[in-house]
């Protein structure tokens, strides 16, 4: 009797396990990595950090690595920011990443934030590039919203002193993970931008950042999760961390993270040191579809007649 019971229980468990594992393995999931490190004013140093993140990502089986804003350098003044800027074709930092990707074993795509110089202009551009596994630059976005703030207890930063703003939203583009929408750092505070990316087809939005410690403590995770829940997309937030100069005048918040379309933080880097790190999570496009089907926000929006504008 007892023997019988155990046998049928075992059978039931085995068949349940078979069902579940076939269900799980049928779902196509692709591993994404979000990078965190501390860029200095030395492009060569930063390239070395980024190369180590590229290798960590491949070792862990990730198919794309998302790097922070200003991965090429974080300068000590607006004047230095402009003077270090290069054209994309002449940036040894970008050329170094392209070459590294061409020589890898596994295929890896990279999203990376850099500065781009503009000929005969006294300001540069803050841009985000997609570099595919063959080392080709296939997408370029220029930061739309510039971080000009003057908080009573700090920070005071005037990004527009050294940077020209972009003029258009970049249409989300296909990648091995899904359709990616591009935005940078301070852009995360503008929900209209995220909503527009979703309307244009994004499954994933990335906000590569160098958030200040003060604003990061108060808003970083809140904003990332809010944009994920607003748009029902994955949100990938690569981040600069720690002190960028020896005096520690400029520090970044860190906490690189990957958030799913339900708002769950799937992975996060610690801020206990400034070592180059990645956190990884599976991108599951079926979850994107499920969240959107269960709660069809985009069929329920009221649009221009009610809000005064469409997203
Ligand atoms: O200066 C560079 O080279 C790279 N760019 C940045 O670090 C930018 C502009 S100063 N930082 C931000 O946008 C922080 C936003 C932020 O912290 C917030 O929204 O609270």
Confirm whether 69 is a catalytic residue: yes
Atom of ligand 1 nearest to the CA of 223: 19
Residue-level pLDDT at 213: 96
Q: Is the CB of 189 under 6 A from ligand 1?
A: yes
Q: How far apart are CA 4 and CA 143, in angstroms?
A: 67
Q: Which two tokens stand for residue 232?
A: 């029902």
Residue nearest to atom 1 of ligand 1 (CA): 74
Is 171 annotated in the active site? no
Q: Which atom of ligand 1 is nearest to the CA of 162?
A: 1
Q: Is the beta carbon of 70 within 6 A of some atom in ligand 1?
A: yes
Per-chain mean pLDDT for the chain: 94
Distance 70 CA to ligand 1 centre (A): 9
39-49: string of b/e by CB count within 10 Å (b at 16+)? bbbebeebbeb
ipTM: 0.96
Residue 156's pLDDT band (boundaries 50, 70, 90)?
confident
User: Nearest CA to 141 among 50, 92, 205, 80?
Assistant: 205
Predicted confidence at residue 18, as pLDDT, reads: 59
Q: With 60 as the cut, is the pLDDT of residue 34 above it?
A: yes
Please, are residues 29 and 60 in contact by the beta-carbon 8 Å criterion?
A: no
Backbone dihedral angles phi then psi of residue 30, each to the nearest 5 degrees = -125, 135
Asked whether 240 and 68 are in contact (CB, 8 A), the reply is yes
Q: Tell me which residue of 104, 107, 36, 122 sits closest to 71, measured CA to CA.
A: 36
Indicate if 143 belongs to the active site.
Answer: yes
Residue nearest to atom 4 of ligand 1 (CA): 70
- In this predicted structure, the answer to whether residue 24 has a pLDDT above a threshold of 90 is no
Q: What is the pLDDT of residue 1?
A: 47
Beta bridge partners of 128: 113, 141
Q: What tens digit of pLDDT does each residue of 209-236 get?
A: 999 999 999 999 999 999 999 999 999 9
CA of 187 to the centre of ligand 1 (A): 10
- Picking from 256, 257, 261, the residue whose alpha carbon sits closest to that of residue 285 is 261
Catalytic residue among 38, 185, 269, 279: 185
Residue nearest to atom 17 of ligand 1 (CA): 211
Q: 285: which residues sit within 8 A by CB, 6+ positions away?
A: 28, 178, 203
DSSP the chain: -HHHHHHHHHHHHHHHHHHHHHHHHHS-EEEEEEEEE---S-HHHHHHHHHHHHHHHHHHT-SEEEPPTT-S---SSHHHHHHH-B-GGG-HHHHHHHHHHHT-SS--EEEEEEEE--TT-S-EEEEEEEE-TTS-EEEEEE--S--EEE-TTS-EEEGGGTEEPP-SPPPPEE-SSSEEEE--GGGGG-HHHHHHHHHTT-SEEE--B--BHHHHHHHHHHHHHHHHHHHTSEEEE-EEEEESSTT--SEEE---EEE-TTS-EEEE---SS---EEEEEEEEHHHHHHHHHHS-HHHH---HHHHSS--
| 199 C-alpha to ligand 1 centroid (Å) | 26
Q: Which atom of ligand 1 is nearest to the CA of 188?
A: 19
Residue with tokens 């607006």: 78
**Would the CB of 74 count as within 6 Å of ligand 1?**
yes
Q: Which residue has the tokens 């899904």?
A: 178
Model confidence pLDDT, tens digit, residues 171-221: 999 999 999 999 999 999 999 999 999 999 999 999 999 999 999 999 999
Work out the pLDDT band at 106, boundaries 50, 70, 90: confident
Q: For ligand 1, atom 10, which residue shows the shortest CA distance? A: 159
Contacts of 64 (CB under 8 A, 6+ apart): 30, 32, 33, 57, 108, 109, 110, 111, 175, 176, 177
């Amino acid at each position: 009797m007892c023997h019988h019971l155990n046998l049928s229980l075992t059978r039931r468990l085995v068949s349940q396990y078979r069902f579940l594992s076939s269900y799980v393995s049928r779902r196509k999931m692709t591993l994404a990595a979000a990078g965190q490190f501390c860029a200095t004013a030395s492009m060569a140093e930063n390239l070395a950090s980024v190369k180590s993140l590229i290798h960590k990502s491949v070792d862990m089986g990730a198919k794309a690595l998302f790097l922070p804003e200003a991965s090429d350098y974080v300068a000590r003044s607006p004047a230095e920011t402009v003077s270090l800027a290069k054209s994309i074709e002449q940036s040894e930092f970008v050329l170094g990443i392209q070459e590294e990707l061409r020589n890898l074993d596994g295929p890896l795509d990279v999203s990376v934030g850099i500065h781009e110089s503009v000929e005969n202009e006294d300001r540069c551009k803050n841009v985000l590039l997609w570099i595919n596994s063959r080392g080709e630059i296939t997408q370029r976005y220029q930061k739309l919203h510039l971080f000009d703030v003057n908080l009573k207890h700090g920070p005071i930063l005037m990004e527009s002193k050294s940077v020209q703003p972009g003029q258009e939203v970049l249409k989300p583009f296909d990648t091995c993970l899904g359709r990616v929408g591009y935005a940078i750092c301070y852009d995360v505070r503008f929900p209209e931008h995220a909503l527009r990316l979703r309307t244009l087809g994004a499954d994933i939005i990335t906000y590569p950042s160098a958030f200040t410690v003060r604003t990061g403590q108060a808003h970083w995770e809140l904003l990332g999760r809010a944009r994920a829940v607003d748009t029902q997309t994955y949100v990938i937030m690569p981040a600069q961390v720690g002190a960028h100069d020896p005096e520690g005048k400029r520090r970044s918040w860190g906490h690189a993270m990957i958030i799913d379309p339900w708002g769950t933080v799937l992975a996060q880097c610690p801020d206990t040191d400034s070592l180059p790190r990645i956190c990884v999570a599976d991108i599951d496009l079926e979850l994107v579809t499920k969240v959107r089907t269960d709660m069809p926000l985009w069929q329920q929006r009221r649009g221009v007649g009610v809000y005064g504008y469409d997203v």
